[in-house]
Amino acid sequence: MTRSTRQNDDERMRANVPPIDFDQDPPPTPKTPAFADAVDSLTPALDRINLDKKRGADDLRVSFDDDDEPRSTTSRDSKRSSLIDTPVGIKQLKHSPTGAASTLVLYSKAGLGHDTGAKHQESVMRLAILGVVTGGLRETVEARESTFRAPLGDVIRVHDVDYVRSLQEKCAKLPATSLDTASQGACLDTDTRLCANSLDAALGGCGAACEAIDLVATHQAANVFVACRPPGHHVGPRGAVACFRHFWKSPDMCSCGFCLLNTAAVAGAYARYRYGRPRAVPEQARVLRKVAIIDFDVHHGNGTEAIVKGLKPHRERKPLPDSWPEEHHDVHKPWLDESDGDEVFFGSVHLWDAKGAFYPGGGGPNDSSATIVNVPLSAVGPKPGDVRARQALSASQRAKLCQEAGDNLRRDVSAQLLPALQRFDADLVIFSAGFDGYEADLYHWFREEDYAWLTHAVLDASPRAACVSILEGGYSTWDWPPKVVSRAGTRRKASEDDEVAQRPGLLRACGAHVAALNARAPPSPPPRGF
Ligand SMILES: [Zn+2]
């Protein structure tokens, strides 16, 4: 094929791509064509996963019926109060003694349409578990579905429009359903998969996050947790962020780390743009001007950091090989005005090693400034990701590592993050809430009490702030704690593990964070602005 023929084909392909459906208003019913396709295509995927065998627990069996309603196949009647069956209106929310609404979970079902294949770490099961299994997070707080899709204007405060367009073109070329055969999907890079619904899922997550901002800005909820996927914190303004500690310095050769759109940054930009001015809209009850994004995913939030750095006019080195002469370009992508650089704070708590061997390699001890604070934690125990070594540990060995990881977290966050956050005095805290540091996952040794402590510590350091939390990573979709199997011919006493009901690790860690959000009293003194 000649170059000109390929160019003509490319142009024809582009001409055939429909425009992005950036609807301002939510669809009239939850059953939009895209959603119905997503649920239809989910059924074979969830059947294939066969949770019944995997978990050995009847009430963890998940499937979808013809009415698009998630259900458990046992005790179905008692568990039919799912997110879709009984959407909880804002007026129905629990109220604290002071009268302010409490925590709400917003669930974006668009994320169920983002198929990465049953074997992919960032699978649809993550969201299914949080929303479907035995009530998921609804045991902790009230929940309802968000059907918004973020409009283009809300996305391009953070991302370049040609990056969003490239995502849309890639998704439009894929078959409408790609779950029957995983190979029908495509790869954005080495580990970020795409299907036809992927951009719709990412826009649904951003739409839910912006809806969450609306709810806290108008005092309809004290804080909101957004259950959505794919995650977002590794993607920068133009997609993958160059990994300066690795030999691959070109963004084309880096990974978006399962992320498509930076949901937390889109929410932060929306908050500042829409509510960063007093009485910007009639129903506004808070001014959300000073925004702190706090990322506790076990991986450094390199995409969010790049976006926050871009709020100040600066020059960036182009990601060229070391042997090439240095080239720079000017970068500035404001959310509101010139005050962005001083009024947006980013803090990231993550694993890090000096050789840059742990993805994505940035966020080291020398990578902090007044408004960007990195808290690099050292790995404890087996090498992160070494599943066999983790599985070989006894319960007491795991407990010791958890103790060490929890102590280190409290020491380093208290010394490095909290004082800077206190000085910043945020109007809004956005958590990039990743749970892949949980002991049941593959990398680190946090327990539920560590997520609860971190949530309280960050909010205590931001006493006036409203809070929106957005799901990032967290992949332990299997039951935890592991059952202790007795060896044949031996008798043993019941262990403590036997007394603890098994639940998916992701649900445990996320539930602890959401419960901590819910326990937080409404901010005092009353928010400024009126
Ligand atoms: Zn992660």
| Cα(470) to centroid(ligand 1), Å | 13
How confident is the model at residue 500, as a pLDDT?
64
Collapsed DSSP state (helix, strand, coil) of residue 386: coil
Q: What are phi and psi of 40, to 5 degrees?
A: -55, -45
Query: Is 1 part of any domain?
Result: no
* H or E stretch covering 275: helix 263-275
How confident is the model at residue 434, as a pLDDT?
97
Per DSSP, the residues of 136-183 read GGGGTSEEEE------HHHHTTTS-HHHHHHHHHHHHTS-S--SSSGG
Write down the pTM of the prediction: 0.79
Count of domains forming the chain:
1
Write out the E strands in 352-392.
Answer: 372-377
Mean pLDDT confidence for 254-261: 87
Query: Is 212 part of any domain?
Result: yes
- CATH number for the domain spanning 216: value is 3.40.800.20
Looking from the CA of 346 toward its CB, the CA atoms found within 13 Å total 28
- pLDDT band, very low/low/confident/very high, at 486 (cuts 50, 70, 90): low
Question: DSSP letter at 416?
Answer: I
| Cα(23) to centroid(ligand 1), Å | 30
Q: In terms of Cα–Cα distance, which of 374, 366, 508 is closest to 437?
A: 508
| Cα(434) to centroid(ligand 1), Å | 6
Domain of residue 136, residue span:
32-482+499-519
- pLDDT band, very low/low/confident/very high, at 93 (cuts 50, 70, 90): very low
Cα torsion at 177, 183, 189, 191 (round to 10°)?
A: 100
Question: DSSP letter at 468?
Answer: E
**Is 90's pLDDT higher than 50?**
no
**Is 525's pLDDT higher than 60?**
no
| Cα(26) to centroid(ligand 1), Å | 30
| Cα(158) to centroid(ligand 1), Å | 20
What is the rounded end-to-end Cα distance, in angstroms, of the chain?
66
| Cα(322) to centroid(ligand 1), Å | 28
207 or 501: which leads in pLDDT: 207
Collapsed DSSP state (helix, strand, coil) of residue 405: helix
Q: How far apart are CA 525 and CA 518, in angstroms?
A: 18
Dig out the tokens for 27 from the structure. 């669809």
Query: Is 371 part of any domain?
Result: yes
| Cα(489) to centroid(ligand 1), Å | 42
Query: Is 429 part of any domain?
Result: yes
Query: Is 530 part of any domain?
Result: no
Q: How far apart are CA 492 and CA 431, in angstroms?
A: 43
Query: Is 182 part of any domain?
Result: yes
Q: What are phi and psi of 44, to 5 degrees?
A: -65, -35
Query: Is 24 part of any domain?
Result: no
How confident is the model at residue 78, as a pLDDT?
32
Q: How far apart are CA 69 and CA 109, in angstroms?
A: 11
**Is 94's pLDDT higher than 50?**
no
Mean pLDDT confidence for 213-230: 94
Query: Is 251 part of any domain?
Result: yes
**Which of the residue ranges 46-55, 213-222, 236-245, 476-485 has the most confident prediction, judged by mean pLDDT?**
213-222
